Amino acid sequence: MNRRDFAKSLALTATMASLWPTKQAFAQAPKTARGVVVDPARLRDLQQAFLDLRFGMFIHLNMATFEEREWGDPLLSPKLFNPKHLDTDQWARAAKSANMGYACLTTKHHDGFCLWPTKTGSANVMQSSYPHDVVRRYVDSFRAAGLKPCLYFSILDLRQDIRARIVTPEKIALIKAQITELLTNYGPITALILDGWNASWSRISYEQLPYREIYDLVKSLQPDCLLTDHNAGSYPGTALYYTDIKQYEQHAGQKIPPNSPVPSQSGTTLQRDWFWKKAYPTSELASAKTIVDEWLVPFNANHCNLILNVAPNSDGRFDDNAVKRLADIGALWKNDGPVARIGRSVTITTPNLAAGKPAWASASDEAVGPDLAFDENFRSYWLADKGKTDAWIEVRFDAPVSFNTLSIVEPRGAEDYGTDSRIASYSVEVERNGAWVAIASGGTPADAYQFHEIARTTAKRVRLVLKGKQPGITEFGLYDEPRA
Closest-CA residue to 458 (of 481, 477, 432, 434) = 432
Can you tell me the mean pLDDT for 355-378?
Answer: 91
| Residues present in the chain in total | 484
Between CA 139 and CA 137 the distance in angstroms is 6
Q: For the chain, which domains are there?
A: 14-332 (3.20.20.80), 350-479 (2.60.120.260)
Mean pLDDT of 369-380: 94
The DSSP H or E segment spanning 405 is strand 390-409
Per-residue pLDDT at 8 exceeds 80:
no
**Which residues pair with residue 467 across a beta bridge?**
390, 425
In this prediction, residues 232-257 reach a mean pLDDT of 91
Grade residue 28 by pLDDT with cuts at 50, 70 and 90.
Answer: low
Model pTM score: 0.92
Least confident interval from 72-81, 142-151, 378-387, 426-435: 378-387
- Nearest to residue 392, comparing CAs of 434, 352, 418, 431? 431
pLDDT surpassing 90 at residue 232: no
Report helix, strand or coil for 251: helix
Which tens digits make up the pLDDT trace of 408-467? Answer: 999 999 888 999 999 999 999 999 999 999 999 999 998 899 999 999 999 999 999 999
pLDDT at 186 over 60: yes
Q: What is the tens place of the pLDDT at every residue in 325-351?
A: 999 999 999 998 788 899 988 889 999
As a whole-number percent, the residues of the chain with pLDDT over 90 amount to 83
For the ranges 7-11, 40-44, 256-260, the one whose mean pLDDT is highest: 40-44
| % the chain with pLDDT above 70 | 94
Give the pLDDT band of residue 257 (cuts 50, 70, 90): confident
Count CA atoms within 13 Å of residue 137 on its CB side. 18
pLDDT at 404 over 80: yes
pLDDT at 380: 94
Q: CA-CA distance, 177 to 256, in Å (whole number)?
A: 34
* pLDDT score of 26 more than 80: no
At residue 259 the predicted structure's pLDDT band, cuts being 50, 70 and 90, is confident
Confidence of residue 200 (pLDDT cuts 50, 70, 90): confident
133 close to 88: Cβ distance less than 8 angstroms: no
Largest Cα separation within the chain, whole Å, is: 74
- Cβ-based neighbour number of residue 439 at 10 Å: 17
31-76 pLDDT per residue, tens: 888 899 999 999 999 999 999 999 999 999 999 999 999 999 999 9
**C-alpha–C-alpha distance, residues 107 and 113, integer Å:** 8
Q: How many angstroms separate the CA atoms of 134 and 147, rounded?
A: 17
14 or 154, greater pLDDT: 154
Cβ atoms of 86 and 43 within 8 Å: the answer is: no
pLDDT in tens, 264-299: 999 999 999 999 999 999 999 999 999 999 999 999
Classify residue 51 as exposed, middle or buried by CB count within 10 Å of its CB (0-12, 13-18, 19+): buried
The DSSP symbol for 64 reads: G
Tell me: pLDDT of 23 over 50: no
3 state SS of 31: strand
- The predicted pLDDT at position 24 comes to 40
pLDDT at 365: 82
What per-residue confidence (pLDDT) applies to 82? 98
Q: Residue 59 in contact with residue 103, Cβ under 8 Å?
A: yes
Residue 26 in 3-state DSSP?
helix
* Average pLDDT in the chain: 92
CA gap 403, 235 in Å, rounded: 21
pLDDT at 236: 86
**Separation of alpha carbons 263 and 246, rounded Å:** 6
pLDDT value at 21 more than 80: no
Lowest-pLDDT range of 93-97, 161-165, 344-348: 344-348
With a cut of 90, say whether residue 16 has pLDDT above it: no
How far apart are alpha carbons 66 and 75 in whole angstroms?
Answer: 14
| Average pLDDT estimate for 116-130 | 98
